[in-house]
């Protein structure tokens, strides 16, 4: 077979497979891995901030500002991974994620709103104001996990 035609054919095949993958047919297992990845990274960057909110970690305004910026991006990433197609994939997501979608969406919006406020106040805000916003942000994590995630 002509090598060039073969290459083009292969590229088209890969392209077709890729298009399907990209838009509607991402495997449920992949969606779960991606949403869990977003949660892992939210944990990474929230960890020290949660410690600061509780006074267990020394306050560091630079770390708060940097991590808040990361969390602003990360807090938008998990949600499309909770597609209906993932309902039967083993994970810590409770059935309410798929049955009480309005409330789940509200919880996502609340997190994003609190994280946005954190980003704003972390840019030079007074320590007390930043800490208050850390507490408010932490509550949205806990509130959502309470209803939508298996007890860990």
Q: What is the binding site for a second copy (CB under 8 A)?
A: 11, 14-15, 18-19, 21-23, 33-34, 36-38, 40-41, 44, 47-48, 51, 54-58, 60, 63, 69-70, 73-74, 76-77
Provide, rounded to whole angstroms, the least separation between the CB of residue 87 and a second copy. 20
Residue listed under structure tokens 């305004």: 61
DSSP 94: -
Cα–Cα distances (Å) from 66 to 36, 48, 55, in that order, read 22, 11, 19
Provide, rounded to whole angstroms, the least separation between the CB of residue 40 and a second copy. 4
Alpha-carbon torsion, ordered 134, 114, 122, 77, to 10 deg: 100
Residue 11 or 96 having the CB closest to a second copy: 11
Provide, rounded to whole angstroms, the least separation between the CB of residue 103 and a second copy. 25
Residues 135 and 152: their CA atoms lie apart, in Å, by: 21
Residue 41 or 89 having the CB closest to a second copy: 41
């Amino acid at each position: 077979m002509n090598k060039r035609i073969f290459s083009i054919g292969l590229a088209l095949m890969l392209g077709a497979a890729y298009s399907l993958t990209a838009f509607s047919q991402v495997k449920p297992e992949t969606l779960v891995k991606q949403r869990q990845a977003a949660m892992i990274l939210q944990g990474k960057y929230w960890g020290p901030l949660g410690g600061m909110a509780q006074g267990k970690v020394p306050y560091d305004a630079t770390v708060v500002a940097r991590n808040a910026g990361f969390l602003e991006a990360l807090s938008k990433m998990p949600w499309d991974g909770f597609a209906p197609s993932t309902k039967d994939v083993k994970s810590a997501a409770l059935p309410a994620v798929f049955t009480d979608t309005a409330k789940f969406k509200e919880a996502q919006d609340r997190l994003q709103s609190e994280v946005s406020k954190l980003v704003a106040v972390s840019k030079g805000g007074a320590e007390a104001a930043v800490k208050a916003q850390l507490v408010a942000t932490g509550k949205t994590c806990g509130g959502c996990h309470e209803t939508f995630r298996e007890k860990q």
